[in-house]
Amino acid sequence: MLKDVTLGQYFPGTSFIHRLDPRTKLIATFVYIAALFVAKWYVSYAVVLALLIVCITVSGIKPSAFFRGLKPILFIIIFTAVINLFATKGGTVLWNWWKLTITSAGAQLAFLMVARIMLLITGTFLLTYTTTPMALTDGLELLLEPIKKLGAPVHEFSMMMSIALRFIPTLIEEADKIASAQKARGADFETGSLTERAKALLPLLVPLFVSAFRRADELAVAMEARCYHGGEGRTRMKKLTMCPADWATLIGSGVFLAGIIVLARYGL
Q: Which of 178, 250, 260, 263 contacts another protein by CB under 8 A?
A: 178
230-to-38, 89, 155, 158 alpha-carbon distances in Å: 39, 54, 7, 11
* Residue of 15, 13, 22 whose CA lies nearest to 246: 22
Neighbours of 27 (CB within 10 A): 18
**Residue 57 or 180 having the CB closest to another protein:** 180
Q: For residue 94, what are the contacts with CB-CB under 8 A and spacing of at least 6?
A: 102, 103, 104, 107
Binds another protein by CB under 8 A, chosen from 19, 62, 199, 234: 62
Which listed residue (95, 180, 221, 258) binds another protein by CB under 8 A?
180
Q: Is 233 left (phi over 0), alpha (psi -120 to 50) or beta?
A: left
Distance CA(67)–CA(73), nearest Å, equals 11
Establish if 182 lies at the interface with another protein (CB under 8 A): yes
Nearer residue to another protein within complex by CB, 209 or 228: 209
Q: Specify the stretch interacting with another protein by CB under 8 A; choose among 62-70, 110-118, 161-169, 259-267.
A: 62-70
> Pattern 185-214, binding to another protein, x per CB under 8 A?
xxxx-xx-----------xx-xx--xx---
The CB density around residue 211, as the number of other CB atoms within 10 Å, is: 16
Span 9-38, contacts to another protein by CB under 8 A: 11-12
Please work out the total of residues on this chain that contact another protein, with binding judged by CB under 8 A. Answer: 24
* Three-state secondary structure call for residue 230: coil
Q: Which is nearer to another protein, 12 or 267 (CB)?
A: 12
Binding footprint of another protein on the chain (CB under 8 A): 11-12, 62, 64-65, 177-178, 180-188, 190-191, 203-204, 206-207, 210-211
